[in-house]
Amino acid sequence: MSLLVVGSVAFDSVETPTEKRDDVLGGSAVFFSYAASYFSKVHLVGVVGDDWPDEHTELLRKQGIDTSGLQVVQGAKTFRWRGKYMPNMNDRETLEIHLNVFETFDPVLPPEFRGAKYVFLANGSPVTQMHVLDQVPNAQLRVADTMDLWINLQRDQLRTLLKRLDGLVLNDSEAKLLTDDENLVRAGHKVREMGPKFVVIKKGEHGAMFFSRDETYVMPAFPTPDVVDPTGAGDSFAGGMMGYLAAAGNFEPRTLKEALAYGTIVASFNVENFSLDRMKQIGRADVESRMADYRRMLSF
Amino acid sequence: MSLLVVGSVAFDSVETPTEKRDDVLGGSAVFFSYAASYFSKVHLVGVVGDDWPDEHTELLRKQGIDTSGLQVVQGAKTFRWRGKYMPNMNDRETLEIHLNVFETFDPVLPPEFRGAKYVFLANGSPVTQMHVLDQVPNAQLRVADTMDLWINLQRDQLRTLLKRLDGLVLNDSEAKLLTDDENLVRAGHKVREMGPKFVVIKKGEHGAMFFSRDETYVMPAFPTPDVVDPTGAGDSFAGGMMGYLAAAGNFEPRTLKEALAYGTIVASFNVENFSLDRMKQIGRADVESRMADYRRMLSF
């Protein structure tokens, strides 16, 4: 099935307790696309400025990602984010955000993208996300991410969006913020009752939780000793998940569970280096090999 | 196999964001024993003052726990702990500790306990824990818990103890403190390299991690929406684990993994009410029923 992602494309500057990188390739749609590409063809929609080097686009294209929806705005600059990770590598502080060209990003989908069946709305305001949904009337699976920013600033619009979604992916602090409930099991179901058929709460190094009407479960993170840069972990998790679903062509409970496991595995690779550096080194066989370890780990 | 636990027996006063209990039955050896009793006969060694009501001892006895090693010191008071849980129910603050009779507790095992094969050293100083080990020369499985207090105050003695253990159970912040490593996967293996054949890191609502020379794995917590009081979760986890091992009569890798899962399940019941109130309501069948749900949750 065709998979469409709309989200941010960015330059990230990242400080960890031991290392530092400036202006490396990042953005929610980039991490998502690359992670999904191990499983499925991905159509990326995003925007960059004229400071965007062709080599980044080339890297994505070589991986089979359709970048024809990546709009380049002349005379404008690409979204830039700078952040710093705490020693636990799970908490981070945003030091700088320059939305630049992303601030006025109003995605207009190329006609050939409008038949997309699997759609992921990565980082963006609920209003923008709804605008995308309006353009994919035949979508079979609509999943979005959200952020504390939108919960705080556009809660009503987010609530409207939630009623139009099949799935929502958000992190633990966001789920607590949205529901005012500190128990994640209750919070997950409360978010689900706001509209989406399923909800995934990402807990960083502690894995992810899944909630549907009939199911509640936890997927622990794959225990890697080599956490170098967690940036994009959530987006690569979502990419692995959606890529697997799109390839499977269904989102039955069993497929969804496998998809969460694949998302977990791809994210565990992503955090092992900066930017896409680790994901660039691996292929589907590496994903399958670690998945076999993960299955072994969880069976008793 | 016979299972021996040596640890604290206490009156707990607990404040949660919504409720409060004073002077309820608690203590590491109590939570441990009750949790282990679903699987195995347990011999408890501990100390209380003359303020200890017979009904508490009776409750344990009725569950099949051997309380003949519970020493009652006349003219002295039982260990008292008062704590307060933060809204996330995972972090807590100790408001008061009165060690009382526990301060000078120097466990001398009754002769009939000295042949114990499975031994758990619950809350206590490494010196006291080693003194217990000296009295069980035929033990086949020696597992201990430790606390930040001992890592800070008696690190050398703890390091000596570690060399004499088969297993150590400790929580995530303690593992980081002991190894000065914020990555739990690395921290777990560093603790293991200090002596014990296996290490279990407890992560509260996020489950537990296991480390041996050949294995690294994570067991997520059972997702319960009803977390009323987390006090004793770690001890009931250890109790379920050790009780299952003692019943199985071996600690092969496969048995250990099942034991961690049983510990997880028993702990998930324990947090559903104050003191032993939830554990008192359930039996082995309830444990097995939730275990079946847990196995389903982890299979895909």
Asked if B113 and B4 count as a contact pair (C-beta separation under 8 A), the reply is yes
State pLDDT tens for residues A87-113: 988 889 999 999 999 999 999 999 999
Contact A89 B182 (CB under 8 A): yes
Tell me, yes or no, if A18 comes closer than 8 A to chain B by beta carbon: no
Which residues in chain B touch residue A223, judged by CB atoms under 8 angstroms apart?
Answer: 184-185, 209, 216-218
Beta-bridged to residue B69, according to DSSP, are B45
Contact B266/B247 with Cβ under 8 angstroms?
A: no
Provide the b/e sequence for A32-70 (b: ≥16 CB within 10 Å).
bbbbbbbbbebbbbbbbbeebeeebbebbeebebbbebb
Rounded mean pLDDT, B46-66: 98
Question: Shortest CB distance from B89 goes to which of A182, A207, A295?
Answer: A182
Beta bridge partners of A66: A43
**End-to-end distance of chain B based on CA atoms, in angstroms?**
34
- DSSP class of residue B222? P
Per CB-CB distance under 8 Å, the chain B contacts of A205 are 184
Q: Tell me the ipTM for this assembly.
A: 0.91
Out of A220, A225, A298, closest to residue B183 by CB: A225
Q: Which residues, including other chains, have CB under 8 Å from residue B216's CB and lie 6 or more apart?
A: A223, A297, B185, B188, B189, B209, B210
Residues in chain A with CB shorter than 8 Å from the CB of B206 are 203, 206-207
Element (H, E) at B144: strand B141-145
Check if A209 contacts B (Cβ < 8 Å). yes
Q: Say if B252 is an interface residue toward chain A (CB within 8 Å).
A: no
The residue of chain B with its CA nearest to that of A220 is: B220
Residue in B217, B220, B295 nearest the CB of A207: B220
pLDDT of residue A90: 84
DSSP A271: T
Min Cα distance A295 → chain B (Å) is 8
Q: How many helices (H) and strands (E) does chain A have?
A: 10, 13
Q: Report DSSP state, residue B137.
A: T
Angle, in degrees to the nearest 10, between helices A28-36 and A54-62: 30
Q: Which positions 257-286 of A are in contact with B (Cβ < 8 Å)?
A: 257-258, 261
Paired tokens of A121: 């709305």
Q: Does B87 touch chain A (CB under 8 A)?
A: yes
Chain A (184-203) residues lying within 8 Å, Cβ to Cβ, of chain B: 184-186, 189, 203
Of A89, A182, A185, Cβ closest to residue B88: A182
Q: How many residues does chain B have?
A: 300
Q: Please indicate whether, in this complex, the C-beta atoms of B218 and A224 are within 8 angstroms of each other.
A: no
Chain A CB contacts of B218 under 8 Å are 207, 220-221, 223, 297
Single-letter amino acid, residue A86 = M
Predicted pLDDT at A270: 98
Residue matched to tokens 């006969």: B41
Beta-sheet strands, E only, within chain A: 3-6, 10-15, 20-26, 42-49, 66-73, 79-85, 92-98, 118-121, 141-145, 167-171, 198-202, 208-211, 216-219
pLDDT band at B123 (very low <50, low <70, confident <90, very high): confident
Rg (CA), chain A: 18
In tens digits, chain A (300 residues) has pLDDT values of 789 999 999 999 999 999 999 999 999 999 999 999 999 999 999 999 999 999 999 999 999 999 999 999 999 999 999 999 999 888 899 999 999 999 999 999 999 999 999 999 998 999 999 999 999 999 999 999 999 999 999 999 999 999 999 999 999 999 999 999 999 999 999 999 999 999 999 999 999 999 999 999 999 999 999 999 999 999 999 999 999 999 999 999 999 999 999 999 999 999 999 999 999 999 999 999 999 999 999 999
> Does the beta carbon of B95 lie under 8 angstroms from any beta carbon of chain A?
no
**Residues 214 through 233 of chain A touching chain B, CB cutoff 8 Å:** 216-221, 223-225, 227
- Sequence-distant (≥ 6) Cβ neighbours of residue B231 within 8 angstroms: B12, B14, B26, B31, B83, B274, B275
Identify which of B87, B206, B221 has the shortest CB distance to residue A182.
Answer: B87
Question: Tokens for A85?
Answer: 């990770």
Q: In this complex, which of B185, B260, B297 lies closest to A218 when CB atoms are compared?
A: B297
pLDDT at residue A275, rounded to an integer:
98
CB A87 to CB B185 under 8 A?
no
> Could you tell me the CA-to-CA distances from B295 to A193, A218, A224, B223 in Å, in that order?
26, 11, 23, 13
Average pLDDT, chain B: 96
Phi-psi region of B83 (alpha: psi -120 to 50; beta: other; left: phi over 0): beta
CA A267 from chain centre, in angstroms, equals: 10
pLDDT per position as a tens digit, A77-88? 999 999 999 998
- A298 to chain B, any CB pair closer than 8 A? The answer is yes
H or E element, residue B169: strand B167-171
